[in-house]
Structure 1
């Protein structure tokens, strides 16, 4: 402790104002430390032993040293959220913070970033997270920039992910990496597109290596109906196929039906995804409902059903844009086989999705607002099979007419 000054000292002094105490100090921080000894409310008692310390940081240090199995108390200092920390921006410490609210992104508290609170996992094997290292930047949290690009530029055209419930810290790695790939490609500069291509190659390799985790054929043993569908994996494969079309647009010619010719490996990935969805009955509305308990919140059921519907329409759109490469050796006589191996309108046993306004509603409206919207807006009656998209195929398709127009 610094020496006490006598009254004749010419140096500036800081005097203790506590009644009955005449201590003086040369520096104010020393006085503050002394004052803490007077005020018991400023004492910090260890909850795990009889030690008492003068400052909160000393208490945290004490617990880490002498009680390492215990969790030290949180600092009272405000900590930046995950997004602000990644960008090295000033964060107001609110939840959500003002910056995240203005940008329309999920605001993650520091403890959520550190502990990675996950939603129930799908029955799938996680892809190698080291792939993220191919993204330019010093932190994985820079990924948020490319996720923002995805939702701002790609999502309006391909709206099959639900932005309102999307949380960066909780989404499966395979989906995040596929979204990063799209965001990098849209960014447009050569370095970003090279990184996107690197993602594409590695993710395709990982998806193929883990084919047994997601591919279902007519000979695959059926799982229990309680087993959740790995929608994040299917969505990720769809993003890879969309990306393959973007690349094919630059590298491959159109066929006479004005469809992009995919390399054989990517076309097989497309047909495998279609076969899997068919075998699961993924696009059959009663099966969508059967994945939920009768007591499940209606907002959750609505989001999941809408997500599958929009995924189905996006997959159908890709099937309409693609064909097998001419190098695969197919002929015109194979046209009926081509049609059967790709998704058709007759496969879509559900109504059109509900409005984009409901689907794109911000997360701030909450589940209660979604529930009210589902009850009070003119939502489609999915139970009426006459309204299913598949019912239109009988009027729009005739096997005797070879014109490929739908």
Structure 2
């Protein structure tokens, strides 16, 4: 996120610093791949640890690459181009999430227990949902010579409900949280809300190319 902000400032010195920071992060992500890449780990499953913070950082890193390297280029389908090396990184990220079962709501619910603080559960579940949707939306907007314009994630895989209560999610401070939390029904760990899964609307989303 810092690199993106520095790059979009437009100042040459800031952009040079952004490139340097990007290169350092790129090296770290690729050098520690065995610590986060579960895409080809056979024993990886939904009960394994989900390194959500790392995955968020990788997603932002890929977005940084598109902004800094893409120069606004799009193909005839109005999709942004992505270099093969970054596509491989994104593919591993998607594969890791898929292998860990992060797109399946019952798996998300299973990360918590009735003894957990309701607000803690709500934030944790929202974090996974919002990350997965951001990942899906990015993949839908990308094109590469090796993907044949097929998205790395389909809407049918998003087996969880939409995020809820943006005001609560964006709350700053306890007072604002308390006000917005009054209209939010906390998560029931026994209700998978299957009727509200995004995948149920996959046909519509695919028709609209979303």
Q: Aligned match of 1:312 in 113, 132, 142?
A: 132
Change (3 A) 1:315 1:223: closer
Partner of 1:344: 154
Partner of 1:299: 119
Larger CA Rg, structure 1 vs 2: 1
Partner of 1:363: 173
Give, in whole Å, the separation in 2 of the partners of 1:286 and 1:305: 11
For residues 206-257 of structure 1, give each alpha carbon's deviation from its aligned partner in whole angstroms, at most 9, with x where no partner exists.
10111110111244323682x431111000001011112212441x732221
Change (3 A) 1:224 1:234: closer
Change (3 A) 1:370 1:355: closer
Q: Aligned match of 2:57 in 236, 248, 251?
A: 236
Residue 209 of structure 2 is aligned to residue 405 of structure 1: yes
Partner of 1:392: 201
Q: Aligned match of 2:31 in 195, 209, 231?
A: 209
Runs of 4+ in 1 over 6 A off after TM superposition: none
Structure 2: segments with no counterpart, 5+ residues: none
Corresponding residue pairs, total: 208
Give, in whole Å, the separation in 1 of the partners of 2:177 and 2:168: 12
Higher helix share: 2
Partner of 2:2: 180
Following TM superposition, by how much is the alpha carbon of 1:375 offset from its aligned partner in structure 2, in angstroms?
Answer: 3.2
Partner of 1:221: 43
- Equivalences for residues 56-95 of structure 1 within 5 A: none
Give, in whole Å, the separation in 1 of the partners of 2:206 and 2:74: 23
Give, in whole Å, the separation in 1 of the partners of 2:96 and 2:66: 21
Q: TM-score, normalised by structure 2?
A: 0.86
SS in 2 for 1:339: coil
Give, in whole Å, the separation in 1 of the partners of 2:138 and 2:203: 21
SS in 2 for 1:374: coil
Change (3 A) 1:223 1:189: same
Would the aligned equivalents of 2:103 and 2:157 in 1 still touch at CA under 8 Å?
Answer: yes
Partner of 2:78: 258
Structure 1: segments with no counterpart, 5+ residues: 1-178, 399-403
Following TM superposition, by how much is the alpha carbon of 1:188 offset from its aligned partner in structure 2, in angstroms?
Answer: 3.0
Give, in whole Å, the separation in 1 of the partners of 2:121 and 2:40: 28
Would the aligned equivalents of 2:3 and 2:22 in 1 still touch at CA under 8 Å?
Answer: yes
Q: Aligned match of 2:87 in 241, 251, 267?
A: 267
Would the aligned equivalents of 1:248 and 1:260 in 2 still touch at CA under 8 Å?
Answer: no
Give, in whole Å, the separation in 1 of the partners of 2:133 and 2:191: 15
Give, in whole Å, the separation in 2 of the partners of 1:272 and 1:321: 17
- Equivalences for residues 134-213 of structure 1 within 5 A: 179-213=1-35
SS in 1 for 2:185: helix
Would the aligned equivalents of 2:45 and 2:99 in 1 still touch at CA under 8 Å?
Answer: no
Give, in whole Å, the separation in 1 of the partners of 2:96 and 2:196: 24
Give, in whole Å, the separation in 1 of the partners of 2:181 and 2:159: 24
